[in-house]
Amino acid sequence: MTTRYDAPGRLARTGNELIRRLAEFGVSIAGTTALRVRGRSTGQVRTVVVNLMTVDGRDYVVAPRGNTQWVRNARAAGQVTTGPRWRRRTVNVTEVADEAKPILLKRYLDRWYWEVKGHAGGLTPNSSETELRSVAPSIPIFELAD
């Protein structure tokens, strides 16, 4: 695991805030969902918007920007809550091993590259297996399980 973190700029933070609010009210834009996690320092619940990806019946969240605050909080808490206000689901998170990430990254980029281009460690939907493997340690992926 590397500690790459591509911090969002002001415009991205503003856009993410709008999309997060919509997700909290059940309006999903291209697979977005609200993710809540308890802060490791303050103990306060923080909410971000993520793309929920389902592969072979399993749910995953990917952090293309790298070692973000929500990623660090999820690691520390071991669980997150997803979904809109009336349909929240608290789940355990397990970080995916680097060797299992390439296929998940490929699926993620195939669907959301238009949204995360420039923030996925230089990867594109056409990245080779070698490129996916080399960048995988810098992109946290969590499996969500009840």
Q: How far apart are CA 11 and CA 125, in angstroms?
A: 25
DSSP 73-105: HHHHHSEEEES-GGG-EEEEEEEPPGGGHHHHH
- Residue 138 DSSP code: G
- What digits encode the pLDDT tens for the residues 100-109? 999 999 999 9
- What digits encode the pLDDT tens for the residues 5-52? 766 778 777 777 777 777 777 767 777 889 999 999 999 999 998 999
Residue type, 76: A
- Report which of residues 58 and 17 the model is more confident about: 58
Q: Average pLDDT of 77-101?
A: 94
